[in-house]
Structure 1
Amino acid sequence: MAVVITQLFNGISLGSILLLIALGLAITFGLMNVINMAHGEFIMAGAYTTYVVQQAFSHYIPASLFNYYYVAAIPLSFLIGALLGFVLEKTLIRFLYHRPLDSLLATWGVSLILQQVARSIFGAPNVAVTAPTWLDGGLTIAGAVLPYKRLFIIALVTICMVSLYLYLDKTAAGRKMRAVTMNRSMASSLGVSTKKVDATAFAIGSGLAGIAGCALTVLGPIGSTIGTYYIVDAFMIVILGGIGSLIGTVFGALSVGMLGTIAEFWSGASMAKVIVFVAIIAFLQFKPAGLLSARTRSLE
């Protein structure tokens, strides 16, 4: 029972991290048809923001308040990621809408540039972020220990999902974003500024990637290539879930997380990657649109 609970928890935990990373891609890819290879660098930006906030608290804030640095780092990571995404959209992405190949090449170049900038500022070696003491330890259930760090990440992802749902469903700006996703030309003819919606969506997606980077800092060291490790998995999840479908992205992330954890338990980390890839490719042969395709209002 302990082994089963541990594997289920690890699968949900991994799926939660992948979901937070893939949410931003699901928004931008589904809305603008832009393949953003620099998405991983927004994760890196959020991770390094957390590191900088930790250093600032350790040098300029009383030691008794050090454990609260992480609370300040989460919104700052979102803001830094969103700001970078907004600037990138205004200066480059808006000229590449509905040009997937061009956007792939251009954002890949931006990815390499941002990685080199990070190396120049923080150095090539990885840096460590000390997790707050209130995240030490774990919850014991039926002999299985569930680390507080991963429980916190699951809670953080849940909050982000609920917040995104409320934004898209309950606010005027969110409803405009959904309208543009369903039918861009019709939304534009009804007075919706599609350029403004695109910039907002790209900033939100980049900010979510920044939060993902902040979450990853409690699991291990961070470096300039931290986003590269997750970007392929994130694209797989978006395609598996259905391009433009946020609910599909949720199911896709949890499916990949559970399958990867179970495969790694039985066969090892390297073989688990192969098994996940093969399973996704096989599934897409039978259902190319993914688990849940996004609804549109356009005529065929």
Structure 2
Amino acid sequence: MNVFIFLTQAFNGLSLFTILLLMSLGLAVVFGLMGVINMAHGELMTLGAYTTYLTARFFGQFLQGWMDYYLLIAIPLAFVVCFAAGYGLERGFVRFFYRRPLDTLLATWGLSLILQQTYRSVFGAQEVSVPLAPWLAGAWQPMPGLDLPINRIFIVGLTLVVAFLVYLLFFRTRVGLRARAVTQHRAMSSAVGINTGQVDATVFALGAGLAGIAGAVFTMIGSTNPGTGQAYVVDAFVVVVFGGVASLVGTVASSFTIAQFQTVLEYVTSNTMAKVAVLALVVFALYIRPSGLFSPKTRS
């Protein structure tokens, strides 16, 4: 493997890292706060992708002069749509299964099947894609022999901005302070006047919104079908557990490690063997550190 191939694979790993991180951030905050294993999280990503697809079609039919910039509207719109969908799901469905992990797992898995069939009924089983904006086409050549796609550079930059905003939300605002308080001690937080139900709904909706952004980003590198989200939800759960539940830093580090490791192994071996090797690495690491790479410190 020469240096150009190595750099290309490393950059491809960054592309996978962005999808995993956006998916895993949403799972990390929901799983860490409420202990909910949301198997329908992948379908929320798919909803974000279909929102982007519908936005592209709307611009293509009614705002053709602004078609080059539809993505700047589609990404925030995907977040808003998935945020609203997540809030509705938490208030109307998920909150009835708190403190019942197995029931939550089965219920959200059934919900994911319902959503997949809904997408098939509305959009069809075939894959759909969106046009790439001209300003995202082409590649940047930092040195001869190394071409980095501009759309993937944009995705990496967008992901870093989103991760930074999530950090500011949880560590620099009162909303984040309440969420961290509920995560550490729910009963005490309720005793001091925090509306834990409202915190649960808001954080669950935020996780859904982040999945929507992941779906919008995914349309820039691949086509969308009703099962798109399921291809990433298991990997996202592995990232969350490997990095440490309720640890945003651990989620970022775990996403980067797994993405780079899997990308390099896919080039050397195959996609299946790469996933097996990554899973073996995670199992071995959890055997040594059962709480993940960045487990929260607690008093014994």
- Cα distance in 1, alignment partners of residues 38 and 139 from structure 2: 36
- Cα distance in 1, alignment partners of residues 234 and 289 from structure 2: 20
- Cα distance in 2, alignment partners of residues 98 and 243 from structure 1: 16
Q: Percent identity?
A: 46
Do the aligned residues in 2 keep the contact of 1:33 with 1:99 (CA within 8 Å)?
A: no
TM-aligned CA deviation for residue 98 of structure 1? 2.5
- Cα distance in 1, alignment partners of residues 171 and 233 from structure 2: 28
Aligned to 1:32: 34
Query: What secondary structure does 2:132 align onto?
Result: coil
Query: What secondary structure does 1:226 align onto?
Result: coil
Aligned to 2:97: 96
Which one of the candidate residues 286, 289, 292 is aligned to 1:290? 292
Aligned to 1:280: 282
TM-aligned CA deviation for residue 87 of structure 1? 0.7
2:129 alignment partner AA: A
- Cα distance in 2, alignment partners of residues 124 and 228 from structure 1: 15
Query: What secondary structure does 1:293 align onto?
Result: coil
Q: Does 1:65 align with 2:66?
A: yes
- Cα distance in 2, alignment partners of residues 202 and 8 from structure 1: 32
Q: Over residues 59-88 of structure 1, what are the superposed CA-to-partner deviations in whole Å (9 max), with x where a residue is unaligned?
A: 011x22101111000111001111111111
Do the aligned residues in 2 keep the contact of 1:182 with 1:295 (CA within 8 Å)?
A: no
- Cα distance in 2, alignment partners of residues 8 and 209 from structure 1: 24
- Structure-1-length-normalised TM-score: 0.97
1:258 alignment partner AA: Q
- Cα distance in 2, alignment partners of residues 66 and 269 from structure 1: 36
- Cα distance in 2, alignment partners of residues 291 and 91 from structure 1: 34
The within-5 A match list for 1:256-267 is 256-267=258-269
Do the aligned residues in 2 keep the contact of 1:81 with 1:203 (CA within 8 Å)?
A: yes
- Cα distance in 2, alignment partners of residues 219 and 269 from structure 1: 18
Aligned to 2:45: 43
- Cα distance in 2, alignment partners of residues 284 and 169 from structure 1: 27
- Please identify runs of 4+ aligned residues in structure 1 that moved more than 6 A: none
Query: What secondary structure does 1:130 align onto?
Result: coil
- Cα distance in 1, alignment partners of residues 244 and 97 from structure 2: 22
The within-5 A match list for 1:90-239 is 90-142=91-143, 143-239=145-241
TM-aligned CA deviation for residue 141 of structure 1? 2.4
- Structure 2: gaps spanning 5 or more residues: none
- Cα distance in 2, alignment partners of residues 11 and 28 from structure 1: 25
- Cα distance in 1, alignment partners of residues 50 and 181 from structure 2: 35
Do the aligned residues in 2 keep the contact of 1:37 with 1:107 (CA within 8 Å)?
A: yes
Query: What secondary structure does 1:243 align onto?
Result: coil
- Cα distance in 2, alignment partners of residues 30 and 294 from structure 1: 11
Query: What secondary structure does 1:146 align onto?
Result: strand
Do the aligned residues in 2 keep the contact of 1:139 with 1:147 (CA within 8 Å)?
A: yes
Task: Please give the root-mean-square deviation of Cα atoms over the aligned residues, in Å.
Answer: 1.1
Count how many residue pairs are aligned between Structure 1 and Structure 2.
Answer: 297
Q: Over residues 137-174 of structure 1, what are the superposed CA-to-partner deviations in whole Å (9 max), with x where a residue is unaligned?
A: 11112321111111111111111111111111221111
Do the aligned residues in 2 keep the contact of 1:90 with 1:199 (CA within 8 Å)?
A: yes
Which one of the candidate residues 248, 251, 255 is aligned to 1:249? 251
- Structure 1: gaps spanning 5 or more residues: none
2:94 alignment partner AA: I
